[in-house]
């Protein structure tokens, strides 16, 4: 039993020792291979074969990601003269590793930073030029940063700038004009010219003119807008306006209104005949008034006659009765006639043929709705 346990422990020790040795050997082998690849890359670099050197340095870095390998890769990219972006990215990676390997202080940082800045300048010069114009000029340009999604003002039109390849959101704004928002694509090769015509801001309201007669001329600020009736509002600039409604033979309606942007103001214009034609009111009123005056006059006459008679005589009593009848009937007829005459001349009149007929809506006993032509406006 003891021999079995001892044999098992020995087997486990041998297995663990083998695994640790294998891992150590693999790591040593990867490091050695990376060193070998790095040396091969140096040889190729010295011979001017930069593309082949890049492959060796890249393999070395993948096996052993240390600052030395990525530094050589950056210089290989740099010497090709066509891989400025890869060279810059490799130098940035070098600084990251170098700082980690040297407690945050990289001995070659200043020199590498100069190379990075020079590469940034090269990359900027290689970017496509985007020229942005607008009509009118002087509009603010807001551009959305694709990386952060935030808007920033990059200048006023006309404006020229360098932009990396990608899709951009742009907004153009200037006082008095509607903001314009759109997208544009920047290709890797080729400049781009953008021109944006801006739409003047429409500070618009409306006036709806309702007239009580048809065929009346509608003026707004002295300009004829047509004849009544009009169902559609008339568009006007926001602000104060004079509305006139008139027709030959009728009075004139003038109204001052103030219109806000996006608001519709309703003007109800009522005009009437300048000369009121005679109607039944005057035909009846004048005769009644004349008869009423005559009745009162008769009452006065009988009052005078009664004054000449002795009281309580039959003749006196008859004269008093006729006096009272003259006063009562004459006064009543005069009052009615006068009221009809005042009504005739005080009531505004329009020609019945000129009245605007409005649709009416009614409810039937069964609950259904009936639409038809109804009352006069």
Neighbours of 182 (CB within 10 A): 11
Task: Check: CB of residue 206 under 8 Å from CB of residue 240.
Answer: no
Q: How far is CA 119 from CA 84, 126, 237, in A?
A: 6, 11, 56
pLDDT of residue 181: 93
Copy the structure tokens of residue 174: 């200037």
pLDDT of residue 221: 95
CA-to-CA distance for 199 and 96, rounded, in angstroms? 51
pLDDT of residue 256: 96
Which stretches in the chain have pLDDT values below 50? Answer: 1-3, 5-27, 358-377
pLDDT of residue 278: 67
Which CATH number is 127-197 given?
2.60.40.10
CA-to-CA distance for 337 and 296, rounded, in angstroms? 14
Asked if domains 28-125 and 127-197 share a fold, the reply is no
Counting every residue, how long is the chain? Answer: 377
pLDDT of residue 357: 61
pLDDT of residue 14: 38
Q: What residues contact 97, with CB distance under 8 A and at least 6 apart? A: 65, 66, 67, 70
CA angle 247, 251, 255 (to 5 degrees): 90
Sorted by where each begins, the domain ranges of the chain are 28-125, 127-197, 204-269, 280-346
**Residue 133 exposure: Cα atoms within 13 Å on the Cβ side:** 6
For domain 204-269, the CATH superfamily is: Immunoglobulins (2.60.40.10)
Kindly give the pairing relationship between strand 204-211 and strand 192-197. unpaired
CA-to-CA distance for 78 and 129, rounded, in angstroms? 24
Which residues are bridge partners to 130 per DSSP?
161, 192
Which CATH number is 28-125 given?
1.25.40.10
pLDDT of residue 375: 42
């Amino acid at each position: 039993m003891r021999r079995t346990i001892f044999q098992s422990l020995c087997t486990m020790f041998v297995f663990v020792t083998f695994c640790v040795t294998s891992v150590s050997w693999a790591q040593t082998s990867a490091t050695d291979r990376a060193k070998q690849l790095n040396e091969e890359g140096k040889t190729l670099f010295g011979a001017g074969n930069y593309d082949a050197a890049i492959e060796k340095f890249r393999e070395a870095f993948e096996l052993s990601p240390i600052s030395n390998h990525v530094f050589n890769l950056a210089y290989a990219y740099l010497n090709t003269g066509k891989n400025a972006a890869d060279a810059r990215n490799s130098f940035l990676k070098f600084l990251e590793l170098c700082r980690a390997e040297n407690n945050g202080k990289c001995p070659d940082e200043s020199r590498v930073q100069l190379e990075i800045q020079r590469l940034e300048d090269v990359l900027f010069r290689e970017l496509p030029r985007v020229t942005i114009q607008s009509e009118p000029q002087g509009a603010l340009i807001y551009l959305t940063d694709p990386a952060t999604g935030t808007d920033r003002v990059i200048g006023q039109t006309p404006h020229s700038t360098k932009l990396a390849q990608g899709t951009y959101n742009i907004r153009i704004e200037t006082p008095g004009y509607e903001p314009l928002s759109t997208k544009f694509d920047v290709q890797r090769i080729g400049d781009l010219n953008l021109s944006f015509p801006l739409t003047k801001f429409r500070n618009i309201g409306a006036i709806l003119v309702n007239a009580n007669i048809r065929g009346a001329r509608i003026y707004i600020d002295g300009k004829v807008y047509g004849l009544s009736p009009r169902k559609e509002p008339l568009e006007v600039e926001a602000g104060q306006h004079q509305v006139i409604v008139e027709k030959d033979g009728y009075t004139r309606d003038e109204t001052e209104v103030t219109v806000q942007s996006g608001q519709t103001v309703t003007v109800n214009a009522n005009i009437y005949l300048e000369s009121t034609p005679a109607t039944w009111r005057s035909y009846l009123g004048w005769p009644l008034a004349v008869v009423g005056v005559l009745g009162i006059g008769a009452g006065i006459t009988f009052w005078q006659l009664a004054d000449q008679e002795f009281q309580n005589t039959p003749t006196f009593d008859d004269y008093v009765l006729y006096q009272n009848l003259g006063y009562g009937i004459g006064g009543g007829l005069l009052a009615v006639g006068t009221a009809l005459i005042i009504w005739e001349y005080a009531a505004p009149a329009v020609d019945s043929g000129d009245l605007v007929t409005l649709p009416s809506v009614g409810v039937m006993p069964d609950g259904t709705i009936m639409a038809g032509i109804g009352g006069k406006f």
